[in-house]
Chains A and B, each alone.
Chain A
Amino acid sequence: MSSQPYRKLEGGLIDRDRPLAFHFDGCVYTGFAGDTLASALLANGIRLVGRSFKYHRRRGIFGAGFEEPNALITLREGNRHEPNLRATQIELYDGLTATSQNRWPSLDFDVGGINNLLSRFLPAGFYYKTFMWPGNAWMFYERFIRAAAGLGRAPLRGDPDYYERRHAHCDVLVVGAGPSGLSAALTAARSGARVVLVDDNPALGGSLRGQSATIDDVPSLAWVDEIAGVLAGLDNVRVLTRSTAVGYYDQNLVAICERVADHVAKPEPHQPRQRLWWVRAKRVVLATGAIERPIVFANNDLPGVMLASAVRTYQLQYAVKCGRRAVVFTNNDSGYACLSSLMGGGVPVSAVVDSRPSGPGDAARGVVEAAGVELLCGHAVISARGKKSVTGVEVMALADGGNRVDGNARSIDCDLVCVSGGWNPTVHLFSQSQGKLRYDPDLTSFLPDHSRQAEVSAGAARGQFALGACLREGLEAGAQAARLAGFTPPRDLRPARAEDAPEAPLQALWVVPLPRGRRGKRFVDLQNDVTAEDVALADREGYRSVEHLKRYTTLGMGTDQGRTSNVNGLAILAQLQGSEISSVGTTTFRPPFTPVALGAVTAREVGADLAPLRLSPLHDWHARVGANFVTVGLWLRAQYYARPGEGMMDAINREVLAVRNHVGLVDVSTLGKIEIQGRDAAEFLERVYINRWTNLKVGRVRYGFMLREDGFVLDDGTTTRIGENRFYMTTTTAQAGPVMAHLEYYAQTVWPDLHVHFTSVTDQWAGMAIAGPRARDVLAIACENCDVGDQTLPFMGYLECTIAGVTVRLFRMTFSGEMAYEVHTPSDYGIRVWEALMAAGKEFGITPYGTEAMSVLRIEKGHVVGAELDGRTIPADFGFERMQKKDADFIGKRSLERPGLAYGPRKRIVGLTSENGRKIPRGAQIVWNPTAPKPVAMLGHVSSTCFSPNLGNYIALALLEDADAYEGKLLYASSPLTSSHVPVRVGHSVFIDPEGLRPRG
């Protein structure tokens, strides 16, 4: 184990009594509890952590939080392997295993580094220009290009952890627990509002954890602890740490990803790994802080070039020295805070390079003088030196307000360059909420302007960087949010106090010009390897809008979404175009703010829990007898009941023949069932069905089609008149929901004058169909108190009777084409009635049959289902034109008068019989000759197909044009997808009992 040579002996918020061992690229190191992976690597002197995306250049840790563009690593191994995580946000735990990415064979020696030598030939847009020829060659090249460039690899195996989703409501949601957020949350909480406070980090305090300041005369962290204690004691406050607000959606819905167990090796058995919160807030306070921006100069991607604020955070929060000798390069006073932490932490500073000719404000100047460090005003770092990491910088004087460098270059030795180019408020969530930004030329950054939702930004998030002002703004924002949410803030509000030293203004400096004749890569976007020259190239080639710039160069893409690069890129583009940054605008900020694991999004809805599972009330019986099940929509249905030794087709054929020759029983509980009541119920049905209903007698069943307003069939089914003003409708399984919504729509919005009401009773009733020549014999035994003969229960008749002591609804109707009845019974009695029918049918050989046999029976009979009622067919396509009423309107009637529907030519249903004993492929097209040169005229398509044990052949239903002309002809059912072309004979769609005698028998 190494000895953490860059760790300071004292200070920081780490626990030196809890050393933690971790692996990086196979080597073992130690860090301390409280470290991030990044701080522990730096403490061990590890500067090289990754290779860049395109050029495979050496990259080190650049930031200290979610802004990090470089230090993307793969965490954990095996099925917990997770790529592209920011080392700056990974909390260290004992045994942590991390590997670097985008390098081969090793991080230090990477073959892909050759791209760097070839980089003159790999400018922005190179791939687009080079590999697009010939026509579809990109498809070929892409595999190799993707393998060479890129980030980490996706895990291949299933995720062993589980995730949760929670919904919450609150009055005030505060995002960010820095000085502004803490003040806001405390104020809102003291007003009595229900508050949710969210922060990305494991502990509260935000920027205060990485700086030394005084609040209310105590060290700022003592103040943070006090507020945290107060908040923890309040019942109306929920504090979520390790939680990132990732998305801001309509009407103040904020998605928050809580990393419940990412800071340990694996979650406890009771813990989800992450939890995605959906919080609906009355008011939102965005105290999201600001992200420091670098200044772009040559070789600014060398390990050892870091954000000044990150260096300060590593010094103060983690007691880590980021180097042995530093240079500070800044265009504003905040860079000087880094200086004092370096000097105080034992890192000598060679020079402070300040781009401003007049230098810093008095307070910052005092820091430099006290430290005895050389101050170079009006200068800039033009280039970093070094091969593997920084060994020095070259500094030149700036001229023409920063547009040119002048004089001789001076070389200064150092191994750390701390860069500060000003601050960008973290406006991502604000922008996601559709708020409008404005560009502030003094702060050289985009600030929240007009809000679109019930939110307000406070503190650094709206460009207020001074601590005392943040504390005041936070308090005001919290009080205002509470007030607008209906609460009264206490009268004795007083903001916490902090001294704000006056600062000299920042100088706009985005990219340091190179002296004439000098080359050097100046990286604007470190993650995507986009240089200042690439931006200029894009502009020259006409990609002048920011959205085009982004897509052409990939500036601002990737996991960091350009947090440290976007504004610099825009500024360079504006400079090139001689326009204002405000007129160039920004690209769109989209959720998520930081990448979110798909597991957290889907939460528990995985595997068997992907969708709810609906079970028939008879399910337990099917399971008990060992039925095979099939998923139909959300339903699990009995597919067939194989006996020992039987294959699937054996079982299906046996079931079909049992129904045709004896009697069978099938579960039809999944049918949609709707009770319709009201004095206008019959009139309503008259309008939604194509056929007549007012003349239906009580105790009679009728079959009908329902159309959509465009004339196409919505659904078919039967409706029974149970009483004068009471009907019982059944729909197909799949259309139960849509039909219900359709009926409600017309009843509520189009004909509200009709007195009619609907109740879905699908789940209240179990349904079973008993079918076959002996069906009536079985019922005669099973029904306890009534006669089921033709006189009392004719075809399409209905009555109520008793089976096994249960009152049931008995309908005489058929789907199989045999004599058949449907028995509907309250769900809880379903199995009791089913078993009674099975017992009564025993002597007739009653056979339970599943969905497969049911399907074969209906195809043999030419009955249509969803495969035929596919939204493109009208009743006439099935020979039901005479069902349509002539004398009254119904939904869709007017549309049926359209020429295309009224006069055709239209495809009509036909039956196909296989001519060579082969299966007719599902979905096949019907053609004259499958070997004719393509394109072949398609005459129709196969909608339903099966083997008919009664006919001993494969048959199908199809929709065929010019159906009458093809009657008896030989055509081909052709499925190029499966290379099967089956000769078929065209016939009538009803294969069995075309006269329809059996059901009436």
Chain B
Amino acid sequence: MLLIPCPWCGERAQTEFAYGGDATVERPPDPARVSREEWLDYVYLRDNPRGPHLEWWYHAAGCRRWLQVRRDTLTHEVLGSAPPGERVEDGSG
């Protein structure tokens, strides 16, 4: 079970969080103007990288804030976290 550093609450057990998916995906600001392919990509298509990955987590049983977590999908190592919109400093450059 992971330890996730919540930017507001500190390190907390994974059971307090809900996984929220890929945090590198951005909602198109004006969905009406994007092509069908772009919309399909946004709604359905996700990369499944091996190694560091930026993810959304929701501190459901804590402060109820969404946070970005950089996690290594191979080792489960949690490399860093940040509030939405901020850069995740993870020492990996």
Contact = CB atoms under 8 A, between A and B. Distances in A.
A299 B30 CA distance: 77
Given A250-B1, A250-B2, A745 B66 contact: yes
B43 A748 contact: no
B85 interface: yes
Given A748-B84, A749-B66, A750-B27, A895 B18 contact: no
B58 A744 contact: yes
Contacts of A893: 31-32
Interface in A242-275: 249-251, 253
A889 B32 contact: yes
Contact of B66 (A249, A737, A744): A744
Contacts of A280: 3, 13
Contact of B32 (A709, A737, A894): A894
Contacts of B65: 744, 748
A122 interface: no
Contacts of B76: 250-251
A748 B44 CA distance: 21
Interface string B27-48: 1001110101001001110000
A710 B66 contact: no
Interface in A675-710: 709-710
A854 B85 CA distance: 45
Contacts of B66: 744-745, 748-749
A653 interface: no
Nearest to A452: B75
Contacts of B30: 889
B78 to A, nearest CB: 7
Contacts of A748: 65-66, 84
Contacts of B43: 709-710, 895
B58 A745 contact: yes
B28 to A, nearest CB: 8
Interface size bracket, A side? 20 to 34
A350 interface: no
B84 A752 contact: yes
A858 B56 CA distance: 38
B42 to A, nearest CB: 8
B58 A710 contact: no
A710 B1 contact: no
A251 B2 contact: yes
B62 interface: no
B9 to A, nearest CB: 15
A251 B79 CA distance: 12
Contacts of A889: 30-32
Interface string B66-93: 1000000001101000001100000000
Nearest to A708: B43
> Residue among A452, A737, A740, A748 with the most chain B CB within 10 A?
A748
A710 B31 CA distance: 12
A484 interface: no
Contact of B1 (A253, A749, A894): A253
Contact of B75 (A434, A740, A894): A434
Contacts of A117: none
B20 A745 contact: yes
A894 B23 CA distance: 21
A646 B51 CA distance: 64
A253 B85 CA distance: 31
Interface in A694-744: 709-710, 737, 740-741, 744
Contacts of A251: 1-3, 76, 78
B62 to A, nearest CB: 12
Contacts of B58: 741, 744-745
A174 to B, nearest CB: 20
A737 B39 CA distance: 27
A251 B56 CA distance: 19
A253 B23 CA distance: 26
Contacts of A741: 18, 58, 60
Contacts of A749: 23, 56, 66, 84-85
Nearest to A740: B64
B76 to A, nearest CB: 5
> Residue among B39, B42, B43, B56 with the most chain A CB within 10 A?
B43
A452 B72 CA distance: 12
Contacts of A709: 27, 42-43
B39 A894 contact: yes
Contacts of B78: 251
Interface string A746-782: 0011101000000000000000000000000000000
Interface in A879-906: 889, 893-895, 898
Contacts of B39: 894-895
A100 to B, nearest CB: 39
A815 B30 CA distance: 36
Contacts of B31: 889, 893-894
B64 A744 contact: yes
Contacts of B64: 740, 744
Contacts of B3: 250-251, 253, 280
A737 B30 CA distance: 28
Contacts of B27: 709, 750
Interface in B1-22: 1-3, 13, 18, 20
B84 to A, nearest CB: 5
Given A250-B76, A709-B43, A894-B31, A752 B85 contact: yes
A253 B12 CA distance: 12
B85 to A, nearest CB: 6
A741 B36 CA distance: 27
A893 B28 CA distance: 13
Nearest to B85: A752
A434 B36 CA distance: 43
A737 B84 CA distance: 21
A300 B75 CA distance: 42
A709 B28 CA distance: 12
A895 B34 CA distance: 11
Contacts of A898: 36
Given A750-B27, A894-B31, A249 B1 contact: yes
B72 to A, nearest CB: 10
A250 B43 CA distance: 31
Interface string A424-438: 000000000010000
Please provide the 4 A-B residue pairs with the shortest distance between their CB atoms, ordered closest to farther.
A894-B31, A748-B66, A251-B3, A749-B84
7 contacts: A251-B76, A251-B78, A709-B43, A741-B58, A752-B85, A889-B32, A895-B39
Given A748-B84, A752-B85, A895-B39, 20 more contacts: A250-B1, A250-B3, A251-B76, A709-B27, A709-B43, A740-B64, A741-B18, A741-B60, A744-B65, A748-B65, A748-B66, A749-B23, A749-B66, A749-B84, A750-B27, A889-B31, A893-B32, A894-B34, A894-B39, A898-B36
